[in-house]
Amino acid sequence: MIKQLLISIITSWLVVKIIKTIIIWAKEKKISFKTLFYDGGMPSSHTVLVASAATAIYLETGFSPLFILSVIITLIVMNDAMKVRWVTEEQSRAINKLTEGKQGFRKMDEHVGHKPMEVLVGLIIGIIIPIIVYAVI
């Protein structure tokens, strides 16, 4: 049922955004609206989205071609979060240090990548929440 699939994905995303906001607040002792839109950090919201979609698709269709495709997309997103986006985050930090205080340079976003543990936690949340949603609804 499409309703359960959508509720699974939306609930997973909301849960991870709340968790991420709490973690950032605990570390920085401040909170802002921008915090809800950070891409990096614990846990990976991108991973949660694709993992919850893949899990919900499995619960809808079983071991189907659509499920296999969703797993492949999930693996690509997880790999990208840990490798490409993590390198981008590290480079942004270095560039920001080099250009700090210099005119004509804007600060680059440093919240884009993930450590493996952040992706793993996102994966776990993305699997558990759809299972709960499908059991309850």
pLDDT in tens, 49-107: 999 999 999 999 999 999 999 999 999 999 988 887 777 778 888 888 888 878 878 77
Nearest to 56 by CA among 121, 12, 122, 18: 12
DSSP annotation of 21 reads: H
Q: Where are the domains of the chain?
A: 2-136
Say how many CA atoms lie within 13 Å of 104 toward its Cβ.
0
Backbone angles phi, psi at 123, to 5 degrees: -65, -45
pLDDT band at 114 (very low <50, low <70, confident <90, very high): confident
CA torsion 20→22→27→28, rounded to 10°? Answer: 100
Residue 116 · residue 38 · CB < 8 Å: no
Q: What confidence score (pLDDT) does residue 7 get?
A: 94
Q: What confidence score (pLDDT) does residue 36 get?
A: 67
